[in-house]
Amino acid sequence: MKNKFDILAVDDEQVIIDSIIKIAKLDNLTIDTALDAQTALAKLNDNDYNVILSDVMMPGMDGFQFLQELAARKIQTPVIITTGYSAVENAVKALYEGAIAFIPKPFSIDELESTLRRGLRYNQVIQKANESEGDFFLVSCPSKYFRLGFSSWLAEEFDSTAKIGTTDIYMKLIESIKEIELLNVDDTLTQGAECAKFVSEDGLSHNIYSAISGRILEVNERLISNPKLLEKDPYFEGWIYRILPSDLEYEKKLLISCSSDRL
Amino acid sequence: MLKKISVKLIFVVSITSILIIGIYSYFNVKSQSEVLLSEVERHAHQLSETVKNSTRFDMLFNQRDRIQEIITTIGKDKEINAVRILNKEGMITYSSHQNDIGHMLDKNAESCYVCHAEDQPISKLEIKDRTRIYKPTDDSPRIMGVINPIQNEPSCYEAPCHAHSSESTILGVLDVTILLDDVDEQLRANTVREIIFAVVSITAIGLLIGFFVAHWINRPVKELVNATNQVALGNFNYSIDKLGNDELGILGDSFNKMTKKLEEMRQQIFQSDKMASLGQLAAGVAHEINNPLTGVLTYSSYLLKRTKDNPEMQEDLQVIVRETMRSREIVKGLLDFARQSAPKKNKINVNEVIERAFKVVTNQLKIKQITLNTELEKDLPNIVADANQIQQVMLNLLLNAIDAIDKKEGIITISTSEISLSPKGITHIKHAVCPKNHSLLDPEYKLEGNSTIKLKVNANGTEGFINLDPIYGRNKNYFGITVSNKSTVELSCPQCGISLINSGKRCPDCGGPVYRIPIPQKGFLEGCASFKDNWQEWDFVDREGNKKFIEIKITDNGCGIARENLNKIFDPFFSTKGQKGNGLGLSVIWGIMDNHNGTIGVTSEVNVGTTFTLRLPEY
């Protein structure tokens, strides 16, 4: 019989591991730890985990190689990547490689709690959608869209502007949205940097990372009065910003094409 | 030897002058000799006529002794070789040399030959033909002989002596021969004089050319070669002294411009290298600091949650959490700086940014007892700019001002206002194409950091390129070829060669042709294509009218900047602070202002103070 833990924390710094253990205990979550990716892979053979929290810079195998190895072994456990190199490039790369979320170090307790909450729910949501008979399903993103992990999507418009929004699965991981905080027109977005904050009914706040860089031309005003629109129609009526992309062709290559999700 | 330009030039000029002076001297000597000989000839002929006339009377009376006496007397003259009278048969009847009398002369003798060359003797001869020049022996001087035939006339055959019959036409010949040694001596002297003149003048021309070539060509070329070698060795600071106003002088100036550009580019590369390694360093440091910060942040937040019933401890823990969060922001800023990313532009209020910058330096102002006056215009419109970068600019300028003040009663004044400027001379043309949509921007040749507009030019058959100033109306154009005022200029796209001349329009200032360059989505740029004047028109921006700017002035009453340093202060690594500064401040500020399409200018007077004027465009 395999042991079951909520979290597997992988980091080469003991103080980080200890911090994560403390936070997990606050929330009554069970936790197992590994000081490098090789140990983590060995532990994954023996035990079951609901979510993995991994650093990037580690001796031996780094966080990105760890993600690739998990995909190769077809391990479905959702991974949250965290790193001290909190450059936006790392966030984009981590989400491209299959991480479901990214938290820059140093993180506060609230940031880690809300991200862990989404990670823990991920497998439940997938499972519920697979088992339910049509009353609960995940809407995958339209084929011409591109996405940054599950955080945000990009849709090119005909007038060389682009719309961005968030994915259905992200909304289901939050569970129930209460209020949103958006940027203003003329503000600048950077790919992989925070662009919106969603507060859920349980009081946690969740960051959305922008799929591309550019200047905000228009904010979807309907969302402010009715955040639930994001849950009802996240891909069309529930768009967040219309923007003027600054380097669309290059940045698109760093995103996952939604048409590949349907294969 | 012949490899040197100067030697080649001297050689060509010398050959040319030898030819010209040689030919001139030759013809000069020849014509002099002709003039002299014809003079002698005339003289000899006159003499022979005199002899003939003076002996005429004695002839008629057959006074033979008297005739011989006259001839002997005349023949004593030093220049006269001989005076002889020959009778019809060729016998010498009278002669200045007594021994010759009675000798018979052959018809082939040099004095007879002229008339007796034909079978039938000629009885009448022109003066020219009666003259002959001959040399009796090889070492004797040249001799000119003039024969004068004595014609028969009634008084001769009617004379009482009856020596002549009335049938003969010629009674005899008077032959006068003159020594030419004096004339020849004079001619030789003339020739020698000509040769000396020729040699002296050719040498003088050679020397003169040599001197000027050395001064005008050798020295500048040597200097240019030296300068090129210096640059090849990596010394980009080498500058050529003014070489003059000629083409070599222009070449020298262009060379200096080129080395200056090279030096700037090297500095830029050096700086970006430095930035890149700084970036790596910052990223490394960020990683190292972020891990311990995570520990501090989570442990303190954890304690905060665990000690809800201990308000005193809560307060202290909150300070730790707050300060850790601040450290997190600082590290994030360090990473942002290291990335040197494009400015993150948002709508900002310049006054607010300035006030934030004040807060940072409040303490320093207090310590140095500096009064800060602010004249910030209320209701200043927001502009789109990177607040952090603008704050960095303000902070740097404020710190510079504080450093500059070293006396009591220091005053720093900051004012902001909204101003409106004509688009001419400030609008940057960031994009320009030909009618076939080829970009005309030339990143290879930049003007104050901006890519210029490159056009192909054909002026009177010479092809080259012109780089137009990308600032509308400023006209600091660079001409790759010389375009004179009289040239007819054809301008075209360097890629496809399509003409850029607007044939339907003439320059309103000079009447010359007009170029028309499409600016994508912004109309057309037109200008005088003969470049006789600076007429330029860009209807699109002219129609928009004056552009609005936020102007920020920072004035201090500190030590000021010396005049010779004023134009250097924005150069990277220029510093007057010695070890204290690294010289990056103002060049970074310049870069930030440029990035925002803004400008920065400075006026200063030593010991009076300095004013920096910044302009940021409103969008």
ipTM at complex level: 0.82
Q: pLDDT (tens digit, 9 = 90+) per residue, B285-304?
A: 777 888 889 889 989 988 88
Q: Do B590 and B532 contact (CB within 8 A), yes or no? A: no
Task: Between B331 and B119, name the one with better pLDDT.
Answer: B331
Tell me, yes or no, if A28 comes closer than 8 A to chain B by beta carbon. Answer: no
Q: pLDDT (tens digit, 9 = 90+) per residue, B360-397?
A: 788 788 888 899 999 998 888 988 888 878 888 888 88
Q: How far off is chain A from B305, nearest CA to CA, in Å?
A: 9
CA B460 to chain centre: 19
B342, pLDDT greater than 60:
no
Q: Which of B130, B124, B99 is nearest to B112 (CA)?
A: B130
Taking residues B308-314, what's their average pLDDT? 88
Tell me, yes or no, if A215 comes closer than 8 A to chain B by beta carbon. Answer: yes
Structure tokens at B90: 């060729």
Contacts of B339 in chain A (CB under 8 A): 87
Contacts of A191 in chain B (CB under 8 A): none
**What is the Cα gyration radius of chain B?**
52
Question: What is the rounded distance in angstroms from the CA atom of residue B324 to the CA atom of residue A252?
Answer: 36
Structure tokens at B571: 């150069």
**Structural domains present in chain B:** 5-186 (3.30.450.20), 261-339 (1.10.287), 347-422+546-617 (3.30.565.10), 441-544 (no CATH)
B49, pLDDT greater than 70:
yes
Phi then psi dihedrals of residue B407, to 5 deg: -130, 175
State which CATH number among 3.40.50.2300, 1.10.238.10, 1.20.1090.10, 3.40.190.10 fits the domain covering A3-131: 3.40.50.2300
Q: Which of B515, B96, B282, B41 is nearest to A85 (CA)?
A: B282
Residue from A108, A113, A191 to probe the interface with B (highest B Cβ count within 10 Å) = A108
Q: Do B215 and B122 contact (CB within 8 A), yes or no? A: no
Q: Do B206 and B13 contact (CB within 8 A), yes or no? A: yes
| Cross-chain Cβ contact A57/B287 below 8 Å | yes
In whole angstroms, how far apart are CA B237 and each of A210, B228, B262, B482?
48, 12, 9, 28
Question: What is the rounded distance in angstroms from the CA atom of residue A120 to the CA atom of residue A118?
Answer: 6
Tell me, yes or no, if B287 comes closer than 8 A to chain A by beta carbon. Answer: yes
Tell me, yes or no, if A203 comes closer than 8 A to chain B by beta carbon. Answer: no
Q: How far off is chain B from A10, nearest CA to CA, in Å?
A: 14
Alpha-helical segments (H) within B425-578: 539-544, 563-566
What's the pLDDT band for A78 if we cut at 50, 70, 90? Answer: very high
Residue from B289, B298, B317, B595 to probe the interface with A (highest A Cβ count within 10 Å) = B298
CB neighbours of B192 closer than 8 A, spacing ≥ 6? none
Tell me, yes or no, if A56 comes closer than 8 A to chain B by beta carbon. Answer: no
Alpha-helical segments (H) within B368-463: 387-404
pLDDT of residue B278: 67
pLDDT of residue B415: 94
Give the whole-number percent of chain B exceeding pLDDT 70. Answer: 89
| Cross-chain Cβ contact A84/B305 below 8 Å | no
CATH number of A146-262: 2.40.50.100
Q: How far off is chain B from A196, nearest CA to CA, in Å?
A: 16
Taking residues B102-111, what's their average pLDDT? 75
DSSP B65-125: HHHHHHHHHHHTSTTEEEEEEEETTSBEEEESSGGGTT-B--TTSHHHHHHHTSSS--S--
| Cross-chain Cβ contact A109/B305 below 8 Å | yes
Q: pLDDT (tens digit, 9 = 90+) per residue, B130-144?
A: 888 888 788 888 888
Tell me, yes or no, if A18 comes closer than 8 A to chain B by beta carbon. Answer: yes
| Cross-chain Cβ contact B324/A106 below 8 Å | yes
B1, pLDDT greater than 50:
yes
Residue from B301, B341, B596 to probe the interface with A (highest A Cβ count within 10 Å) = B301
B28, pLDDT greater than 60:
yes
Q: pLDDT (tens digit, 9 = 90+) per residue, B162-206?
A: 677 777 778 888 888 888 888 888 889 988 998 998 899 888 988
| Cross-chain Cβ contact B298/A20 below 8 Å | yes
| Cross-chain Cβ contact A190/B302 below 8 Å | no
Question: What is the rounded distance in angstroms from the CA atom of residue B117 to the CA atom of residue B477?
Answer: 87
Contacts of A215 in chain B (CB under 8 A): 345
B104, pLDDT greater than 60:
yes
Choose the closest CB to B290 out of A18, A105, A215. A105
pLDDT of residue A222: 92
Closest residue on chain B to A89 (Cα)? B339
pLDDT of residue B359: 78
Tell me, yes or no, if B267 comes closer than 8 A to chain A by beta carbon. Answer: no
Give the whole-number percent of chain A exceeding pLDDT 90. Answer: 55
Strands B478-479 and B489-492: unpaired
CA angle B95, B101, B106 (to 5 degrees): 100
Taking residues B516-539, what's their average pLDDT? 85
Q: Which of A193, A190, A56 is nearest to B287 (CA)?
A: A56
Tell me, yes or no, if B295 comes closer than 8 A to chain A by beta carbon. Answer: yes
What's the pLDDT band for B123 if we cut at 50, 70, 90? Answer: low
User: What type of residue sits at position B267?
Assistant: Q
What's the pLDDT band for B43 if we cut at 50, 70, 90? Answer: confident
Phi then psi dihedrals of residue B161, to 5 deg: -75, -25
Q: Which of B529, B534, B435 is nearest to B489 (CA)?
A: B529
Q: Is the peptide bond between A104 and the residue preceding it cis, with omega within 30 degrees of 0?
A: no
Tell me, yes or no, if A228 comes closer than 8 A to chain B by beta carbon. Answer: no
Q: Do A227 and A240 contact (CB within 8 A), yes or no? A: no
pLDDT of residue B449: 57
Q: Bridge-partner residues for B171, per DSSP? A: none
Tell me, yes or no, if B328 comes closer than 8 A to chain A by beta carbon. Answer: yes
What's the pLDDT band for A36 if we cut at 50, 70, 90? Answer: very high
| Cross-chain Cβ contact B283/A85 below 8 Å | yes
Tell me, yes or no, if A86 comes closer than 8 A to chain B by beta carbon. Answer: yes
| Cross-chain Cβ contact B298/A109 below 8 Å | yes
pLDDT of residue A234: 92
Tell me, yes or no, if B382 comes closer than 8 A to chain A by beta carbon. Answer: no
What's the pLDDT band for B618 if we cut at 50, 70, 90? Answer: confident
What's the pLDDT band for A69 if we cut at 50, 70, 90? Answer: very high
Name the burial class of residue B219, with classes exposed (0-12), middle (13-18) and buried (19+) by CB atoms within 10 angstroms of its CB: middle
Q: Which of B494, B357, B514, B361 is nearest to B433 (CA)?
A: B494
Q: How far off is chain B from A22, nearest CA to CA, in Å?
A: 7
Range(s) within chain A of domains with CATH label 3.40.50.2300: 3-131
Contacts of A87 in chain B (CB under 8 A): 283, 335, 339
pLDDT of residue A205: 92
A263, pLDDT greater than 50:
no
Closest residue on chain A to B280 (Cα)? A85
pLDDT of residue A155: 94
Contacts of B384 in chain A (CB under 8 A): 186
| Cross-chain Cβ contact B283/A87 below 8 Å | yes
B435, pLDDT greater than 80:
yes
Closest residue on chain A to B386 (Cα)? A188
CB pairs under 8 A between A and B: 85
Tell me, yes or no, if A252 comes closer than 8 A to chain B by beta carbon. Answer: no
Contacts of A195 in chain B (CB under 8 A): none
Structure tokens at B512: 């010359």
Task: Between B126 and B211, name the one with better pLDDT.
Answer: B211
Q: Which of B615, B458, B478, B463 is nearest to B551 (CA)?
A: B615
Choose the closest CB to B328 out of A106, A186, A190. A106
* pTM summary value: 0.49
